Amino acid sequence: MELKIDTHHHIVPPDYAKWLDSRGITAGGLPIPVWSAEGSLDLMESQGTSCSILSVSTPGVHLGNDQEARAQAREVNEYAASVIRTYPGKFGFFATLTLPDVEGAIAEAAYAFDKLGADGVILLANVGGRYLGEAAFEPLMEELNRRSSVVFIHPSELPCEPVEGIPPYVADFLLDTTRAAINIAKAGWLERYPNISFVLSHGGGFLPFAAQRIARAVSDGGPDDVGIERLRKFYFDTALASSPFALAALLEFAKPERVFFGSDWPYAPKARSMNFLSLLENYAMDDATRRRIYRENAAQLFKKKSRLKRQIDVKNPRTGTVDYRIARLSETDFDTVCQELRSGQKTWSKAGLEARVKVLLQWADAIEVNANLIGSAEALDTGRQRLSHEVPHMVVGSIRDWCAKAPHIFASAQRTGTSVINANVVFETQLVPYGLVGFITPWNHPFLLSMIDAIPALLAGCAAVIKPSEIAPRFIEPVMETVRQFPELAAVLRYVAGDGATGQALIQRVDAVCFTGSIKTGRLVAEACARRLIPAFLELGGKDPAIVTEHADLERAATSVLRGSVFAMGQICFSVERVYVHESVYDDFVALLAGKSQALELAYPDPAHGDLGPFILASQAAIVDSHIDDAVSQGAKVVTGGRSENLGGGHYMRATVISDVTHDMKLMTDETFGPVTPVMKYRTEDEAVALANDSVYGLSAAVFAGSEEEAMRIGQQIDAGAVALQDAAITIYILRDAEKCLSNHLELAGLAWALTRCCVLSFAKLW
């Protein structure tokens, strides 16, 4: 099913519904429906909709009193904006205005655009019998034209009594839209306000069917063709207008780039909306036209005018196709999110550690219950099945473990005593959390790495705003669904979708930053934090070496090195990326490693069967290929495996072993981040250690030797944050059990702070 943008998707704020109910008002003869964001998202998932533009339907907010209308418009617009902040990337909104109160409408439009980030405005075809096109409304049109606004025109009840037994929505709505369109065209608005995009709902009412008849009335005395071309300047949506009868007229009349998809939910209940979608799906049209209607037309229109210009395409790593989209927050929305988090943090911090532990343990239970949903979302992000479904349980274990350790950690950090200089002075320290900590996290382990530092920060009493990679954002929504179950936590924990610009904006709004990612970006983050004089905690990757001595158990070493090299397709910072083997056992080791590598299978076409999934990022496959090509061009030999393969649109690579490598090759010096194991000979122990240390990286390392003593002797000479003995890539298993810091002289990569006691205390200032 093609992804869609739904431009006709209503919102019914609860207080607005109560207000209408107190007046005994319906919507064109229909009862005011109960609305929820969850209901909207459910329909969107069923219809393949990535973003819906929310709007308040008839009767709007003006029931005769200007001041009341202004208050109601502000309330419903702020409610819509809050929904968008809660579900970033899923919704936009058309602002509700106060016509026929022109002055109030202009003021509310300015507020909605400038403060709330509205995507356009919704105007009723008529209010109290006064139709769009009326000269008195032109000051508002001038303002909307200046702002290049989208104006969504929705019908209301006709300014006359309905025919008994025929509710207004059945036919009167279509006539109302048609009347407004004629009046707008006759008034010359389509030419006088060329920057406004007027969208007619429900397929334009009767306009496409009766266009030839209407044309004469809007041709200014000229030929009918003049009127037809004028009317074709409107945009149209397909809400409740996708029957073969209506579509035939609409698509024959409208310009192909001016038709949008619309559901009319919730006034059209899910079953009815799905029925009209089925009619649209089954209507004969070429693929290009269908893509235009479903998404491309709206994306093209809105990208210059509104929130949708901030939309980011997300590709499925298994297919290479765009099947998901996110949207960057506007500056205003980001400010609001951070203000809300700072406000929530004050209560969170004052609640005390015991209360925070209680909430986080309850959240861990909720993650466990929803582990399958979260794992399935991350599986789409990464292309990995088994590992993705293990991650939620890893996070649960992390939360429970931190909650168990935190009381002792914080208690032991407190200090009281008497001055050694002046016995009359006593002191007592306190731990004061940073108010708002920002986390910029990578695509290779989306959920786990977004939580690895956020959990201790939350325990310390901080609020957390997390910007995951735009490459793998699908996990955000199911995770946030669990967060929203606990208001105390939702007040201090938010994910914000976006790209590098969002990360830059985050740095300007927080009190400390944790970043995991590339060296290039890490430097920029460090520089930006330094300019603001705020702490930056950086983990910038690795190029982990493994040493295999002549006395090592080669079977064990080959198995461990292979696992450490291809686990998660080698897309982890502590992957084994270079192997040094004593020359006396070199050939035997390479043969063993190649044989084990050849036994591994690609998880294609069935993601549930096989060992190696796709590259998460297609450009990463190109980087790995370039490293292989560079090595081969300088004399290296591909023993097994080789360059990446495009299978079904995804980029895969078989476990690759490369021999005869040197440190002149990128494969041995630059981070490769793929399932490639380059193996190099060494002669002496000193040479092996020198080669292992010949790197600007220093995250982890591994040593395989004939005895623990031999392995320990060599391991103690390696400049790395953690060294595994007789195994490889096991750093993840000691995350909360042992200190792991960089050697001071290393230039680039590794953890900038410890992962145990020091980590949780890093998020609090000792006063």
Fill in the DSSP letter of residue 294.
I
Name which of 431, 433, 430, 495 is nearest 462 in CA terms: 433
Name which of 448, 421, 451, 672 is nearest 570 in CA terms: 672
Which helix or strand (DSSP H or E) is residue 478 part of?
helix 476-483
DSSP 3-state of 281 = helix
Per the structure block, which two tokens stand in for 150? 């989208």
- State the alpha helices, DSSP H only, in 614-725: 618-633, 666-669, 685-693, 708-715
DSSP 3-state of 407 = helix
Per the structure block, which two tokens stand in for 65? 């009193």
Which helix or strand (DSSP H or E) is residue 750 part of?
none
Strand segments, DSSP code E, in 103-217 are 120-124, 126-127, 130-131, 150-154, 197-200
Fill in the DSSP letter of residue 731.
G
Instruction: Give the integer Cα–Cα distance in Å for 555 and 545.
Output: 18
Which residues fall within 8 angstroms of residue 249, CB to CB, at 6 or more apart?
Answer: 203, 208, 209
Angle at 574 (CA atoms; ends 568, 578), nearest 5 degrees: 95
Instruction: Assess contact for 379 and 388: CB atoms under 8 A.
Output: yes
Per the structure block, which two tokens stand in for 247? 């579509």
Instruction: Give the integer Cα–Cα distance in Å for 7 and 178.
Output: 19
Q: Distance of CA 86 to CAs 80, 120, 395, 674, Å? A: 10, 20, 22, 36
Number of H helices, E strands in the chain: 30, 30
Which residues fall within 8 angstroms of residue 446, CB to CB, at 6 or more apart?
Answer: 378, 381, 382, 468, 469, 472, 473, 475
Instruction: Give the integer Cα–Cα distance in Å for 720 and 740.
Output: 9
Cα torsion for 156, 159, 163, 164, to the nearest 10°? 80
Determine if the peptide bond prior to 88 is cis (ω within 30°). Answer: no
Q: Distance of CA 18 to CAs 11, 13, 34, 81, 139, Å? A: 14, 9, 10, 19, 32
Instruction: Give the integer Cα–Cα distance in Å for 35 and 579.
Output: 59
Per the structure block, which two tokens stand in for 657? 């072993």
Which helix or strand (DSSP H or E) is residue 659 part of?
strand 656-659
Name which of 765, 766, 731, 737 is nearest 751 in CA terms: 731
Angle of helix 353-369 versus helix 331-351 axis, rounded to 10: 120
Strand segments, DSSP code E, in 676-741 are 676-682, 700-704, 722-725
Q: State how beta strands 722-725 and 764-766 pair.
A: unpaired
108, 340, 477, 539: which is the annotated catalytic residue? Answer: 539
Residue that has been written with the tokens 């089925």 in this structure: 278
Instruction: Give the integer Cα–Cα distance in Å for 237 and 300.
Output: 15
Counting every residue written for the chain, the total comes to 767
Per the structure block, which two tokens stand in for 622? 């190109």
Asked about 331 being catalytic, the answer comes back as no
Which amino acids are annotated catalytic?
A: 539
